[in-house]
Amino acid sequence: MALLTDRVAIVTGASKGIGRVMSQLFAGEGARVVCAARSDALVAETVALIRSAGGEAIAVVGDASVEGGARSIVDAGVKAFGRLDTLVNNAGDGGPTKAIQDYTTDDWFYTVNSCLTSAYMCSRFAVPAMIDAGRGAIVNIASMAGRRGLAYRVGYCSAKAGQIGMTYGLAVELGRHNITVNAIAPGAVAGDRIDRVIQSQAEVRGVDVERMRQSFVDRSPLRRMSTAEDIAALAAFLCSDHARNISGQCIPVTAGEPA
């Protein structure tokens, strides 16, 4: 049997990158997937890919960081599939790469709202539906930046650390409802986002881009970056019955780099 048979899963930030790969993998493992994002065209592409492979999915366009958007995402999933028992809080923007003295209040609130408030909002509205379903799994896609820090990314580091703290608190609170809550903390994940991070880090530090890229790889004993598929596979496991007694954990995916 597939890992996620009979699951209804919301994946936020499903328009591209890890969110798109995760939505496809979840559908391939038997879940009916609510693909949520702010981009109408891109999230529709994700759903089309899932359906062309024989999976079930719907697209919901909404901003997970605001109350109305988060509520509409959850309501759409319950309306379409009759229940909800899985939520992956993947939405979030890395925000700018700036020294703290140049980091504006708008930079701060945009980044924290995008990464942390969105996870809070979606969890807030998803939990009652999970309680009704008699089970649930929430996975927060955090970052190693929330555990060890990354220079010139104060908002992102703070937001991801907040996601990890929220994971711990909700795991204790929701265990009595048969709801597990875990976080995944990726290191460098190959793709467009890490390319942008490397470029901006090289610029602010005044070093060569390829030298900066190699520094990210050299941190790993396996001498490689992780992939979106690596993150998606762990998320699927954490949402399955195989992980029913794993809760309140933050699991690094770093290609061997010490956490």
**Where in the sequence numbering do the catalytic residues fall?**
156
Instruction: Give the span between the Cα atoms of 78 and 151, in whole angstroms.
Output: 41
Nearest residue to 159 via CA among 104, 84, 107, 83? 107
Q: What DSSP character marks residue 82? A: S
Burial class (CB in 10 A: 0-12, 13-18, 19+), 18: buried
**Sheet of 8-12, strand order:** 56-61, 32-37, 8-12, 86-89, 136-141, 179-186, 250-253
CB–CB of 202/216 below 8 Å? no
Q: What DSSP character marks residue 253? A: E
CB–CB of 209/202 below 8 Å? yes
Distances (CA, A) of 37 to 58, 63, 104, 199: 11, 7, 26, 25
